[in-house]
Amino acid sequence: MSQSFQSQLENMDGIYAALFSAAEEIYAELKKGVGLKFATSSNESGDDQIEMDVIADEAFFNALKEDGNVRYVVSEERPGLNKISDGPYSVALDPLDGSKSALVGIPSGAIFAIFENAETAPDFNGKNIVSGGFFVFGMNLEVYFADGDKVYGGIFDGSDWSVLPIEGGLPSAEILSINAQNQTVWDEWLQRHYACLFDTKGGREKPQNMRWYASMVADMKRMVLQGGLFAYPSANIKGYEEGKLRLVYEAIPMAFLIKAMGGSSTDGERSLLEVPVETLHQKTPVFIGEKAKIDAVEAARKA
């Protein structure tokens, strides 16, 4: 692996090198078809695992434990805080996002967030994050992330990484990526707003295009490249009261990246970067995307 990226943040290069190296290992295994069947276990959130979930988690953990700047590694697949050293940074991971989608060939990936001075679960919040992004395991191995306030995209050609700045901010598109399976049991404000987005008779020149992979990294790659709105709301049904996405492992890193591109996020009332973290595995409603679209979501909730 040759990775020439240099962080603007102190003592971060080794952490990025570990993340990139683990992603290469996972991608190589996926291309072989390794681990693409259900395991006999579930993760800390109670979701069924496929074997590759465990393989990916171990790959990241083993790579990161070699860096003395990593204090804790926390993962969607592990309980609690796993201490590595007394370093200044801690890494939160969804080691294989979209794993069930990978079973049918939809791109999966990995989501990461790097926090400064995190010592307890509440410290893994939006005020302490300094880097966040995701890898995509698709036709290519790709990465999209924010290093502080700067945004980068990269691709691995089999031996070297090419990582370049992404400039120009978040694009704009009439695209909605949403899990709409529970729309009949959403709060009424969201049902009304959802209907409005597709209304061609109420003055909307062009309705939203619906796009949904059920793989957050695949949907967020589209967001970075094209713009739009990504949503996974809560619903008035058992198991979805706070949505299904994890605040620490999925919502905060994606919100951090999109904010660095000029976008925004909300749980319906406040930025996902302002939501207090109570437990490492807590869930949250998620809306991420263009600022005007997020403002419209919050306005709809208040109406």
Domain identity same for 47 and 136: yes
Give the number of other CB atoms < 10 A from CB of residue 66: 13
CB atoms near residue 64 (< 10 Å): 25
In a domain, 6, yes or no: no
Total domains, the chain = 2
Question: For residue range 210-245, what is the model confidence (pLDDT) as tens digits?
Answer: 999 999 999 999 999 999 999 999 999 999 999 999
Instruction: Say if strands 82-83 and 70-75 run parallel, antiparallel, or are unpaired.
Output: antiparallel
What is the domain range of residue 240?
Answer: 175-302
User: Same structural domain for residues 233 and 115?
Assistant: no
Please state the rounded mean pLDDT for residues 38-49: 52
Query: For position 35, what pLDDT does the model report?
Result: 61
Residues 160 and 42 in one domain: yes
pLDDT 10s digits, 123-140: 999 999 999 999 999 999
Tell me the CATH number at 24.
3.30.540.10
Same domain membership, residue 214 and residue 185: yes
pLDDT tens by residue, 171-195: 999 999 999 999 999 999 999 999 9
Residue 5 covered by a domain: no
| Residue 8 forms part of a structural domain | no
pTM of the model: 0.94
Torsion angle in degrees (nearest 10) through CA of 270, 259, 273, 66: 170
